[in-house]
Chain A
Amino acid sequence: MIEIKDLHKSYKMGSNSLHVLKGINFKVEDGELVAIMGSSGSGKSTLLNILGMLDGADSGEYTLDGVPIKNLSETKAAQYRNKFLGFIFQSFNLINYKSALENVALPLYYQKVPRKERQEKAMQYLEKVGLKPWAHHLPSELSGGQKQRVAIARAMAAEPKVLLADEPTGALDSKTSYEVMDLIQQINDEGNTILVVTHEEDIAHMCKRIVHLKDGVIVEDKKIEQVRAGQYV
């Protein structure tokens, strides 16, 4: 599903440049649930942003579902993001003046799905994350966990090939974190490919594979026995 080869990325800051990713090689198969770990500043977010086509790499190859991702125009990148990827952010990033339902329907709007169909589909996904009764509430009326579940529904709504989550539980307490992880596991159980950046060991162990980043390279990449989040909920 995802294949990257010898990926490099550095940030230029004035005259110096900070080499963040120093040759990453990495492959993710269909249906995997991968945790990306590493200390702060190790380049986890940078990697995820490149995978999400929000940022470009300096060199190296990136193939997503057989499509080479290189030198994309902003328009093309937006279309690919819409079609291939779902984003889940640490700070939820819901649009504050839109209801939960409208937020979930937004990616479908950019796919030019007709309004009625969009609403129905968005409602299905809200139901899936257990928030159907909250459909017409504004984000400000939801708890952190609920917001993140709306964000997950929104990421799912366009039926992307890969879900990218950058510290999805970073802003949540442990109980709510497990609820969110439970949801992510369920989605993964249905065959969706998911990458989760996290700091927390327990969250990482709810995935099926852990990739460790250090100083811009992968230092460890291992398959693990998945801990089900459901038992803590």
Chain B
Amino acid sequence: MWLFDRDLWIEIFHTLGKNMFRTFLTMLGVIFAMVILVLLLGSANGMSNGFNKIFAGTASNSLFVWGQSTSEPYKGFERGRRIRYKIEDAEILKKQIPEIEVLAPRIELGSHRSVVSVYRNGQTSGSAVYGDYPEIDEITKKKLVEGRFLNQTDIEHSKKVCVIGEETYKLLFDKGENAIGQDIRINGVYFAVVGIYKPNNNINIDGENAVFIPFTTFQKAFNSGDRMGWMAIAVESKTPVPFVEKQIKDILKHKYDIHPDDDRAIGSFDMSEIFNNITSFTMVLQGFSFFVGIFTLLAGVIAISNILLITVKERTKEIGVRRALGATPKIVKRQIVVEAIVLTAFAGLVGFAISVGILAIMNSMWGSGDDFPFANPMISIPQFVISFVLMVGLSVLIGLLPANRAVKVRPIEALREE
């Protein structure tokens, strides 16, 4: 195996070491290219990670479904009829659509997106009030600063407890005041605060001025009967959300006598769409990084090839002597190609080390910031391997140029060279 041929390596390091300064200049192009490639890729990854951080706690393959008003007359009903779901719909949907992993029903006090007055010790806030199941936390996770979220026991015993947003806390309590265990009043009913959540710089559908109480408590306290306003649904990861979305709508349309072509009666929002958009965005970013990086790399490798051409020219006579002594064209070419590989690989590693350092600095500067989607900018091992293989592959191809030049001169002419 030539790879372990000590003489080959001695010769290569000798020829490269003979003109250190030139060798270094030669490598600059590739070092620079590798830095560009890794920085671009690393930044793209950093953005991707940043987005993931923002969406952490939100089930990506999920959707929300609520009722709106019909836009078509159907089966004797006039258009403009308000659609109100019943709590039994949750069970029906879960039973009929096995792809549904989690279904969290919700009911809202007052009309949709309206606020209700919440009182406490003479302080008042206008907050949204929701009756929820604990499962909602599996779809849009709340970051609790204190206490806990609603649980199954709360539901079973219809406990008069609530979880409030940080905004609501600020309106109802004094700064630094302990809220846990304190009562707040909604429509004349008292609820004990068990938890406070804060925005965790992710997408926050419910806002921070909101009060969550157990669904069953809501039913009793506000006499909502079997009504249900809203459903948050997590779909198993292999199934596309629109597929389940259509089934849900078909079932609900049938049940509530909605015209099959009426698209406005049932409101829905597909979370996965946002995720898919972001995924394509970061993929385009990575593709672009590779594209730019590869071309700079090509330029760098061509520079190496050029220098090797000069070296080969300078060594014409020596190569002629070697060939007179029995070096076959293959041996001569191999040495020059290996020189190209060694130069490129070494320069690539230097560039890699530099850029990893820069990425680490970038991470410490912006990596933990909340306002900019950027976290852990680093290239992955497969990306590193691909870049490296590409780089070495390029250097072999480009190294063949000076290698062929070296053997193109006939030995007799090479020997005559002065």
Looking at the complex, which of B35-43, B60-68, B317-325 is the stretch in contact with chain A? B317-325
- B326 x A75 contact (CB < 8 A): no
Residue A110 interfacial (CB < 8 Å): yes
- A81 x B324 contact (CB < 8 A): yes
- B330 x A75 contact (CB < 8 A): yes
Taking CB atoms, residues of chain B closer than 8 Å to A115 are 6-7
Within 8 A of A (CB), among B321-346: 321-331
Taking CB atoms, residues of chain B closer than 8 Å to A87 are 324-325
B80 CB → nearest A CB, Å: 90
Known: A54-B411, A54-B415. A97 touches B14 (CB 8 A): yes
- From B7, B410, B415, A109 is in contact (CB under 8 Å) with B7
Taking CB atoms, residues of chain A closer than 8 Å to B411 are 54
Roughly how many angstroms separate A49 CA and B415 CA in the complex, as a whole number? 11
- From A55, A81, A95, A158, B318 is in contact (CB under 8 Å) with A95
B293 CB → nearest A CB, Å: 37
A56 CB → nearest B CB, Å: 9
Known: A54-B412, A89-B415, A97-B14. A106 touches B325 (CB 8 A): yes
- B407 x A74 contact (CB < 8 A): yes
B318 CB → nearest A CB, Å: 6
Residue B95 interfacial (CB < 8 Å): no
- B329 x A75 contact (CB < 8 A): yes
Residue B157 interfacial (CB < 8 Å): no
- From A49, A82, A89, A95, B326 is in contact (CB under 8 Å) with A82
Known: A54-B412, A55-B412, A97-B14. A78 touches B327 (CB 8 A): yes
Residue A168 interfacial (CB < 8 Å): no
Known: A54-B412, A54-B415, A97-B18. A110 touches B7 (CB 8 A): no
Within 8 A of A (CB), among B293-326: 317-318, 321-326
Chain B contact residues: over half helix, strand or loop, or mixed?
Answer: helix
A55 CB → nearest B CB, Å: 5
Chain A contact residues: over half helix, strand or loop, or mixed?
Answer: helix
Roughly how many angstroms separate A105 CA and B396 CA in the complex, as a whole number? 29
B-contact bits for A153-166, CB 8 A (1 contact / 0 none): 01000100000000
B333 CB → nearest A CB, Å: 11
Interface size on A, residues (CB 8 A): 24
- A82 x B407 contact (CB < 8 A): no
Roughly how many angstroms separate A101 CA and B236 CA in the complex, as a whole number? 74
Taking CB atoms, residues of chain B closer than 8 Å to A93 are 317, 321, 324, 415
Roughly how many angstroms separate A125 CA and B410 CA in the complex, as a whole number? 29
Roughly how many angstroms separate A107 CA and B322 CA in the complex, as a whole number? 8
Roughly how many angstroms separate A81 CA and B330 CA in the complex, as a whole number? 15
- A110 x B325 contact (CB < 8 A): yes
B412 CB → nearest A CB, Å: 4
- From B6, B325, B331, B410, A81 is in contact (CB under 8 Å) with B325
A109 CB → nearest B CB, Å: 6
- A110 x B327 contact (CB < 8 A): yes
Roughly how many angstroms separate A1 CA and B83 CA in the complex, as a whole number? 109
- B322 x A106 contact (CB < 8 A): yes
Interface size on B, residues (CB 8 A): 22
Residue A111 interfacial (CB < 8 Å): yes
- B326 x A81 contact (CB < 8 A): yes
Give B15's nearest chain A residue, CB to CB: A97
- A82 x B325 contact (CB < 8 A): yes
B377 CB → nearest A CB, Å: 45
Residue A52 interfacial (CB < 8 Å): yes
Roughly how many angstroms separate A79 CA and B412 CA in the complex, as a whole number? 16
- From B321, B412, B415, A95 is in contact (CB under 8 Å) with B321
Roughly how many angstroms separate A54 CA and B323 CA in the complex, as a whole number? 9
Roughly how many angstroms separate A110 CA and B6 CA in the complex, as a whole number? 14
B137 CB → nearest A CB, Å: 70
Give A78's nearest chain B residue, CB to CB: B328
A190 CB → nearest B CB, Å: 21
- B325 x A154 contact (CB < 8 A): yes
- From B326, B328, B329, A107 is in contact (CB under 8 Å) with B326
A10 CB → nearest B CB, Å: 15
Roughly how many angstroms separate A174 CA and B235 CA in the complex, as a whole number? 99
Within 8 A of A (CB), among B1-15: 6-7, 14
Taking CB atoms, residues of chain A closer than 8 Å to B327 are 78, 110
- From A49, A75, A82, A107, B412 is in contact (CB under 8 Å) with A49
Taking CB atoms, residues of chain A closer than 8 Å to B7 are 109, 115
Roughly how many angstroms separate A95 CA and B315 CA in the complex, as a whole number? 10
- A78 x B326 contact (CB < 8 A): yes
Roughly how many angstroms separate A54 CA and B325 CA in the complex, as a whole number? 11
Taking CB atoms, residues of chain A closer than 8 Å to B326 are 78-79, 81-83, 107, 110-111, 158
B407 CB → nearest A CB, Å: 7
Roughly how many angstroms separate A156 CA and B328 CA in the complex, as a whole number? 19
- A74 x B415 contact (CB < 8 A): no
A85 CB → nearest B CB, Å: 8
Roughly how many angstroms separate A83 CA and B324 CA in the complex, as a whole number? 11
Could you write out 10 A-B pairs with CB less than 8 Å apart? A54-B412, A55-B410, A74-B328, A81-B323, A93-B317, A93-B415, A97-B14, A109-B7, A115-B6, A158-B326
9 closest A-B pairs by beta carbon, nearest first, are A82-B326, A110-B326, A54-B412, A78-B328, A55-B412, A75-B328, A107-B325, A93-B321, A74-B329
* A54-B324, A55-B412, A110-B325 known, 17 other contacts, Cβ within 8 Å: A52-B324, A55-B410, A74-B407, A78-B326, A79-B326, A79-B328, A81-B326, A82-B326, A83-B326, A93-B317, A95-B318, A95-B322, A110-B327, A110-B328, A115-B7, A154-B325, A158-B325
Please give the residue numbers on chain B whose beta carbons come within 8 Å of chain A beta carbons, in ascending order: 6-7, 14, 18, 317-318, 321-331, 407, 410-412, 415
